[in-house]
Structure 1
């Protein structure tokens, strides 16, 4: 049965797993270092699950939500600077800290981009849009 569950989970999400002593079957928790991931416990195995493209883990709702709406702090190896982690190998993603910026991910490497004056990143259209059209960008 466990093999079947692992097969189903692997079809819908990128995952890694390992035995955990404190893992309660059915529990969901945020990943300790990556807000685009979460951890699910299946029969004592802690699974690292990746949220779908453009989303991040929302602990209060226990689900993946639009990355633009989920606030998370990512830190680089120094622990004091912001480092963006691509949620997918390719794509365009909003900057969680600044609505006028976004990232282009290519082969898992993020390149920071800035929208032109009076525009901000529109995650639905995947382009820079006039600020008056963006409700969540001051």
Structure 2
């Protein structure tokens, strides 16, 4: 009985200290996938603030636009292109008033390839992959040709 109690205590303590991966949108109820820089066969899948490294089957590469693995010849992937969606806390952050599980996204003024994420009073600057712009209407990065960028 003491062993069960100890295990339950450790599990409860671990869950109480869990925080979302800063590279993944949170909260999220649908998976979001991002390429792994330098490896066209791998990608990260984010769901519920947890990031998981996944691999495409042999002969397939990750296609960011389709959010899936496709035949290697059908994907425009350059393993030397390390441009990808990245998250990093910014030192020049706009104010964030979001509390609880509310997430607010808004464009980065002057650069359509960037956007802000505001979560639990923290603001993070995001960078879309090469050839993509932030779409406020969709709430995600989209092919640049599909987005009306006022700073272009």
TM-score, normalised via structure 1 length: 0.43
Determine which structure has more spread, i.e. the larger CA radius of gyration. Answer: 2
Question: Using CA pairs below 8 Å that are at least 6 residues apart, which structure has the higher relative contact order?
Answer: 2
